[in-house]
Structure 1
Amino acid sequence: METRFPNLPPLDARAYRAARQDRGDGKVQALLEAAGQVFAEKGPDRATGKEIAERAGINPAAVNYYFGGIENLYTAVLVKAHDELLSYETLSGATAAETTPEAKLRAFFTVIADRVTGPNSTSWKLKVLSREFLAPSPAMQLLQNEFPRKASIIRAIVSDLMGLPEDHPLVAHGCVSVIAPNILLVIGDRPTLKIAFPYLRLEPEDAPVLVDRMTRYALAGLKALAEEAKS
């Protein structure tokens, strides 16, 4: 399906400010929350500024006033969801607080587990990001700009665990093996996951067990890859 925003411009100054700086403006936050809900339910192709403004209880003209149009509003919603769920700062802060690569890996998984088992797991934020990852719009470029920095975090951890340089091909394979389950948890539709894996528990109290199992599984796999490098 052709995207509704084929020539989406870069996030302009107004929208960027609204998404990341003007947290105290009640109208801005109301629009972002309402837009997030509508975009999660309908996607950017079927959402309208009028419906978003009505849900926020605000004059429809506010969409243009604060964001410069619905296209920038959609991009601002992605920025907000990304910042509050899986920003580089969140991941780097969690891992930097640990001293060993094993603890850093566990901290990385803890961030993911907290997001997919906590309140955000049923919020519009994960749904909007899931839609964008599965059916990218031009706004995806804004998120892709963050990918290299995030990859550098897990690449350094995997490199230390395997005792191999970061540019070694097996380190890249190890990173993919570590990240892939997390991507499934983040973008996977909850009802679909429950159908495929009816006994998969993703409640808040399950987070520590999930982290422990993912960590042990990853460490065992990385150890096997490291042994392969020696043979």
Structure 2
Amino acid sequence: MARKTPRKLPGRREDGATTKAQILEAAGEVFAEKGFDRATGKEIAERAGSNSAAVNYYYGGIEGLYADVLVEAHRRLLTYDKLVALAESPGEPTEKLKSLIGLIARRITGPESSSWALRVLSREILSPSSAFPVLVKQEILPKKLVVTGIIGEILDRPHDDPVVTRCTLNIIAPFAMLLVGNKQIFTQVLPGFNSGEPEVQEQIVEHFQRFALAGLAATAAALRSDDH
């Protein structure tokens, strides 16, 4: 996704970083509300209080802006640096995975679930755009390697072992479902699943942790049995 070389805007101020950040925030809100296909650079610039040419100047066009919004949205869910710090911290890999599950589950089931970042990711998962490969390359794959490394430690298998891959899918799938799911539909189909109250949210978090770790323990036991 090639970006155009920025051209100088008439009367451009030196607080370009602030303007660029304002455009990204406004874009995140518009993309969350309308999706990539129905959003326009003009509306985004107006909402950001910027010149209509600012989207092209700072992002090379609406496609480049959307790619940056996707990357930022994923970082707001979980940054690579925070994930690496967790993986490299002292302690057992099971405790690291438990902390990771808790972190993500609280983000997705808590107040942040209504943020533009999670809504943009939800739209992209349901209908991938041409910017999806950028998100995969910059955020998803690097983070996946860290997560599969933790799970591989638990199972005593390489990070790219098929068993590790399957377990990673099992652990990630509920979060993807929560991300794209409509809360009203969830409460109708699964009336006991309501994360509105902090106490209930913690029960959900603990359940996800317990379920994932129990599944990994059972898988590890099966692998040891097969090895003998």
Counterpart check, 1:139 vs 2:131: yes
Q: How does 1:27-106 map to 2 (within 5 A)?
A: 27-106=19-98
Counterpart check, 1:187 vs 2:180: yes
Instruction: Work out the number of aligned pairs and report it.
Output: 216
Cα displacement (A) at 1:51:
1.4
Cα displacement (A) at 1:31:
1.3
Q: How does 1:71-220 map to 2 (within 5 A)?
A: 71-145=63-137, 146-203=139-196, 205=198, 206-220=200-214
d(CA) in 1 for partners of 2:158 and 2:53?
54
Cα displacement (A) at 1:122:
0.6
SS at match of 1:25: helix
Cα displacement (A) at 1:39:
0.8
Aligned to 1:18: none
Contact 1:23 1:29 in 2 (8 A): no
Contact 1:81 1:128 in 2 (8 A): yes
Cα displacement (A) at 1:167:
4.2
Larger radius of gyration: 2
d(CA) in 2 for partners of 1:168 and 1:215?
22
Q: Which runs of 5+ in 1 are unaligned?
A: 1-8, 15-21
d(CA) in 1 for partners of 2:16 and 2:85?
24
Q: Which moved more, 1:71-80 or 1:189-198?
A: 189-198
Contact 2:19 2:50 in 1 (8 A): yes
> Judging changes above 3 Å, is the alpha-carbon distance between structure 1 residues 190 and 92 closer, same or farther for their aligned structure 2 residues?
farther
Q: Deviations over 1:138-157 (max 9, x none)?
A: 11011111333222222222
Q: TM-score, normalised by structure 2?
A: 0.82
d(CA) in 1 for partners of 2:197 and 2:5?
37
d(CA) in 1 for partners of 2:197 and 2:67?
29
Q: TM-score, normalised by structure 1?
A: 0.82
Q: In the alignment, which of 205, 218, 227 is matched to residue 224 of structure 1?
A: 218
Contact 1:34 1:52 in 2 (8 A): yes
User: What letter corresponds to residue 78 of structure 1 in structure 2?
Assistant: L
> Judging changes above 3 Å, is the alpha-carbon distance between structure 1 residues 211 and 78 closer, same or farther for their aligned structure 2 residues?
same
Contact 2:73 2:118 in 1 (8 A): yes
Q: Which runs of 5+ in 2 are unaligned?
A: 7-13
> Judging changes above 3 Å, is the alpha-carbon distance between structure 1 residues 11 and 220 closer, same or farther for their aligned structure 2 residues?
farther
What percentage of residue pairs aligned between the two structures are identical?
43
SS at match of 1:227: helix
d(CA) in 1 for partners of 2:21 and 2:30?
14
Q: Tell me how large the CA RMSD over aligned residues is.
A: 2.5
d(CA) in 1 for partners of 2:156 and 2:190?
35
d(CA) in 2 for partners of 1:183 and 1:94?
21
Cα displacement (A) at 1:77:
1.2
Cα displacement (A) at 1:24:
7.7
> Judging changes above 3 Å, is the alpha-carbon distance between structure 1 residues 179 and 168 closer, same or farther for their aligned structure 2 residues?
same
